[in-house]
Amino acid sequence: ASLSDAEARQRYLDGLHQLPVLLAQIETKLRGQAMRGIVLPAAQVDAAVPLIRSFSAPLERSGFNVTAPRVDAVPADARDAFVTAVRAAITEVVNPAFERLASYVEGPYRERATDAVGVARYPGGDRYYRFLVRLHTGLEMTAQQIHDIGLEEVARLERELENVRRQARFAGSMAEFRTFLKTDPRFFTKTPEQMGDALTAAAKRIEPEIGKWFIERPRAPYGARRLAPALEPVMTYGYYQRPSAQEQAGYYLFNGSKLEERSLLNAAALSYHELVPGHHFQIALTLENTRLNAFRKNANYTAFTEGWGEYASDLAGEMGMYTDPYDRAGRLSMDLFLTTRLVVDTGMNALGWSRERAMDYMRAHTFESETQIKTESLRYSSDLPGQALAYKMGSRTIRALRERMRAQHGAQFDVRRFHQAVLGHGSMPLSGFCGNAACS
């Protein structure tokens, strides 16, 4: 909202003064959970404290920028007084509140933390995890069933990677090939801008093929931008930011930190997941669909949304985007990463795996850096248990439904109409979308 009128400016100031109330409520909730023995693992606490403190900053580094266009909208005769009031609120009210929360988390809360992970360690945790599986996947499947699917899929993908090694005429062993793919300088960039360019370039390459596979395409433009640096230490990759009234384009916000650890091997596969024909295609089309009401436009079922992103990344291979063996290796590395989640998420939250065992499994079967493995294992075990299952299980369901439709319609099957049917109704739960768990 514009800050041109006095009422809007007062609401802004009121919001700043209400932040300490919110932070106090968070601390109260944490204290209550800790009394019941519900405490995040020590490693997660250690990662959270710097993030909390990152919100406590001088005015020039805070979310309020005195040079922003919104400030320019403040009438000249009121601007100095408004900026002074904001400065006082941030330095005297907001920043101390963030520091109080950080001090509690770093001190008394941290003292109760252990290295144990997973929801099953809490009373009723096994039932809670079954609920999370249904919530995030929409499927009636046990943790063991999903775990076994993950093991089988990892084995299949590694056989495909062996075929790529032969196609690339790499003379060394598979272990040497994996090391080469993870370390060769050709797969790394020097600047975040180069990373953004690589992601955008991949999307542009697929554009000429879209008409053969889709009936509609979104009007909103797209691109790639760097994630806010304060968020980068606690996020493995990034996320798609959908178009809005303030920003009409959709952007993939990528993690531009530690470039020496961020291979561009899977840049094309990641771009197809996040932009075209992935999340941007899916979400922008939904927002632009005049046939949908507000509820349908804003509904979000993770297995459908992330399942489509993963399906789209795989579909790009059918569209001719992975003819280069290294692009294909990049796609397989991404698929391995998402598939190992089926193994380690269920392992840590239901089957008694330690975090170290999960990290060892990821080290053996993915191309992720140590930094990424550490943040991801915390994500699965303490941040969003069950959520990471949605990517692979969702894509499997969409592809299984497509093959079922192909079998039913034979020569009359039109993949363009199938994609239109999938994307034309907004996000849906897999249970209603597929009909039953057998579709997966």
Mean pLDDT of 302-320: 96
The answer to whether 113 touches 40, Cβ cutoff 8 Å, is yes
Average the pLDDT over 408-424 and give the result. 96
Average pLDDT over residues 325-332: 96
pLDDT band for position 408 (cuts 50, 70, 90): very high
Residues in Cβ contact with 435 at an 8 Å cutoff, skipping those fewer than 6 apart: none
Asked if residue 436 has pLDDT above 80, the reply is no
> In whole angstroms, what is the distance from residue 354 CA to residue 348 CA?
6
Torsion sign (Cα): 118, 121, 126, 129: negative
For the segment 413-424, the average pLDDT, to the nearest whole number, is 96
Q: How confident is the model at residue 437 (pLDDT cuts 50, 70, 90)?
A: very low
Question: What local confidence, expressed as pLDDT, does residue 438 receive?
Answer: 41
| Segment 184-219, tens digit of pLDDT | 999 999 999 999 999 999 999 999 999 999 999 999
Angle between helical axes of 415-423 and 279-288 (0-180°, round to 10): 70
Residue 253 DSSP class:
E
pTM for the whole structure: 0.81
More confident position, 315 or 44: 315
Q: What is the mean pLDDT of residues 331-349?
A: 97
- Output the pLDDT for position 72: 77
Residue 1 has a pLDDT of 63
Average model confidence (pLDDT) across the chain: 91
Q: Say what angle helices 389-409 and 415-423 make with each other, to 10 degrees.
A: 140
As a whole number of Å, the CA-based R_g of the chain is 24
Q: Which range in 19-23, 41-45, 58-62 is most confidently predicted, on average pLDDT?
A: 19-23
pLDDT at res. 404: 95
| Averaged pLDDT, 253-271 | 92
Peptide bond into 277 cis (omega under 30): yes
b/e code 217-235 from CB counts within 10 Å (16+ = b):
ebebebebbbbeeeebebb
57-84 residue pLDDT tens = 665 555 555 545 567 788 889 988 998 9
Note whether 308 and 274 are within 8 A (CB): no
Using pLDDT thresholds of 50, 70 and 90, give the confidence band for residue 262. confident
Percent of the chain at pLDDT > 90 equals 78
Residue 430 has pLDDT above 90, yes or no: no
d(CA 401, CA 407): 10
Separation CA 232–CA 50 (nearest Å)? 11
Q: Is the pLDDT of residue 53 over 80?
A: yes
* CA neighbor of 9 nearest in space, from 82, 73, 68, 75: 82
Write down the residue that tokens 């768990």 correspond to: 437
Question: Quick one: pLDDT at residue 433?
Answer: 59
Whether the pLDDT of residue 167 is over 80: the answer is: yes
